Copies of this chain bind each other. A is one copy, B any other.
Amino acid sequence: MSSRVTVLIAVLALALPSHASAQTAADRGAELFIRKGCLGCHGASGRGGVGPVLAHTPLPFDSLLHQLRHPRGIMPPFPAEVVSDDEARAIHDYLRNAPPPPARLRSDVPHGSLAAESCIPCHTRLNPTIVRQFESSAMGRAGMQNPRVNYPQRQIGCANCHGLDHDKIMADRGRVPESMCGACHPAIYQEHVLDAGHSYGPGPGTLGTNWERNIGVPHYRQMPRKVMEMGCDACHAQAGASDDKYWSADQHRYVDTSSLPYRNGCIACHTRHSFSLEEARKPEACHTCHMGPDHPNYEAYESSKHGSIYSARGRSWDWTVPMPQASYETPTCAYCHMLYVDSTGTRHTSHNMTRKIIWGMGVQPAVGQLADITVSPENQAKRNEMIKVCITCHSEDKARGYLESADAHKLAGDALVIEARSILSGLYKDGVIKPSHEQMSAGLLRGPAFSAVELPGAIAQHSPASLYYDVSPIEREYFDMFFFSALKSYKGAFHMSPDYAWWYGYADVLGHLARIRDDAKRLRSERDVRRQTLFMIFTGPLMVLAVIGAVAWVRRRRVARGVGAV
């Protein structure tokens, strides 16, 4: 073996612990625990999550098997074709011997009701940053910093929000629900939480909150919950997610399908324990959630002229001034979405960020709609509210003209999505592809339990939450087109980023459409070739026999007619 081969293997071996060579029975159980998705709810090595800790479990095998086949609670059933009895036994063997979750580094935790003065000294040693942050915050400093707050005490401390029962605080993991913030800030709580003002809403019925959309959609339930905890849940756990209806006061935990230990609300933008207004006022506060392929609001803003001016000059603005009184050189996220200007030119703000939103997530064409929704009176009223903000820096003609061009840009992209959608419908109708072959989601289990095809009109095939799991490439192409490129295109236009509107957006929609058109042709052509080939394979010999038969019959007739006797 040459030296360079040795080097490469050694490189690879770096990442490869020594026990990886021969697979033992324990290794098999460990691997199955991962491969079958158990860790989605029960954590790596069974250390727990939305499901209970399984590492070092005293549970007998029969109990585990029964729970697997006929689960209690929110656990989905795992039939034998998904996890066989034998596999279940390997998993059980592994779990019994899996090391228990590691002990806390610090176990000398005080118990019972503590004095309010005892928080700071102890936590200054344990978690110095949060103590320092709180002490420098508007809430932690002496005197009432915010004249709009009506609270009997002139300075608040840890216990005002967390209480004094340290056992409960520990059990709750320090959770402070957003209703606690709402006690002192009722108007904001009303605008932001009760009016679903940090979601696109209020929607019909129980909808309109990001959290409901997250945990309520069938496909989410099948996803590995630990993955959702890292991904979707982190942002969707906004207004409403910490409501009592999801929280069990007895169990000190949330009891829905997410394993998030606690949830955002106010702290998504006003991060603890500084609760900095400067931070919440800056565009960066919106970055973590309002970014990415499906809603690159932040990237589009940042790369727009507006965002470039903010980056170049924003640091010299006075961020301590409330927005209605502030002088910005260029708008921030909050400036456009939270500011209102009345007819006298007086500005005020609202924590309802959706009152000027017309197109929402922009997924109209995905449900088959191709229409200018801006014409309705309520949308014209929303548009006017936005234009009043634009006018603080631009002429009305410029502002209105730009936004109306963005509307047209949006609809021009929608027309292409609709064309792609009808190509897909044709393929479904003609049986060239089956709607979402094999299984619908990236979840654990196959089969119809959560399958979207049971939905009326198979609408969910075209919903954001269903089309990127186990689908044919042309369906994935369509998903990438309508959910990534088309949304980039439209978000780019409305946030004034030419590159998002065009290259990352509309031009990419065109690229996907070209591939979808060609793929559809290829799929039909392949089917034809397959059919022709099969036709030949079956009919070839039949044709030969038919011709032979016909010749024989003709010959026999000629013989019968005395022709062939010569």
Write out the residue numbers on chain B whose beta carbons fall within 8 Å of the beta carbon of A230. 405-406, 409, 492-493, 498, 501-502, 506
Query: How far is it, in angstroms, between the C-alpha of A220 and the C-alpha of B219 when the chains are bound?
Result: 42
Asked if A279 contacts B312 (CB within 8 A), the reply is yes
User: CA separation between A472 and B102, bound complex, in Å?
Assistant: 45
A380 and B102 form a contact (CB under 8 A): yes
Using Cβ atoms and an 8 Å threshold, which residues of chain B touch A16?
364, 367, 369
**Interface residue A446 (Cβ < 8 Å from any Cβ of B):** no
Give the Cβ gap from A300 to chain B, nearest Cβ, in Å.
10
Minimum Cβ distance to chain B for residue A11 (Å): 6
**Which chain B residue lies CB-closest to A469?**
B510
**A7-28 vs B: 1/0 string, CB under 8 Å?**
1111111111101100000010
Contact B227 A7 (CB under 8 A): no
Taking a contact as CB atoms closer than 8 A, the residue among B106, B371, B454 that contacts A20 in the complex is B371
Judged by a CB distance under 8 angstroms, whether A543 is at the interface is yes
When all copies of this chain in the complex are counted, the total is: 3
Report Cα–Cα, A17/B128, bound state, in Å: 52
Known: A125-B345, A221-B4, A515-B476. A39 touches B312 (CB 8 A): no
- Which candidate, A64-72, A78-86, A186-194, A289-297, is the interface stretch facing chain B? A289-297
A115 at the interface (CB under 8 A from B): no
A117 sits at the interface (CB 8 A):
no
- Does A393 lie at the interface of the complex (its beta carbon under 8 Å from any beta carbon of B)? yes
Shortest beta-carbon distance from A328 to chain B in Å? 7
In the assembled complex, how far is the CB of residue A397 from the closest CB belonging to chain B, in whole angstroms? 5
Within 8 Å by CB of A544, from B213, B456, B470, B543, lies: B543
Interface of A is mostly: helix
User: Which residue in chain B gives the minimum CB-CB distance to A462?
Assistant: B12
Chain B: minimal CB distance from A457 (Å) = 9
Contacting B at CB under 8 A, from A276-325, are: 276, 278-279, 282, 284-285, 287-289, 291-294, 303-305, 307-309, 311-313, 315
**Which 5 A-B pairs have CB atoms at the shortest separation, nearest pair first?**
A231-B502, A292-B499, A226-B408, A230-B501, A284-B312
On chain A, the number of residues with a Cβ less than 8 Å from chain B's Cβ atoms is 205
Pull 13 A–B residue pairs with CB atoms less than 8 Å apart, ordered by A: A4-B218, A14-B203, A15-B363, A44-B404, A44-B407, A49-B408, A105-B387, A226-B405, A227-B413, A230-B502, A285-B308, A287-B307, A288-B499
CA gap between A545 and B526 in the complex, in Å: 29
Whether A455 contacts B34 by the Cβ 8 Å rule is no
Which of A11, A43, A293, A459 has the most chain B CB atoms inside 10 A of its CB? A11
Shortest distance from the beta carbon of A12 to any chain B beta carbon, whole Å:
5
Q: Which residue of B lies closest to A471 (CB)?
A: B514
| CB neighbours of A514 from chain B (8 A) | 468-473, 476
The segment from A146-154, A176-184, A204-212, A241-249 that touches chain B is A204-212
A279–B387 alpha-carbon span in the complex (Å): 26
Query: Judging by beta carbons under 8 Å apart, are B292 and A308 in contact?
Result: no
A425: chain B residues at CB < 8 Å are none
Residues of B within 8 A of A227 (CB): 408-409, 412-413, 501-502, 506
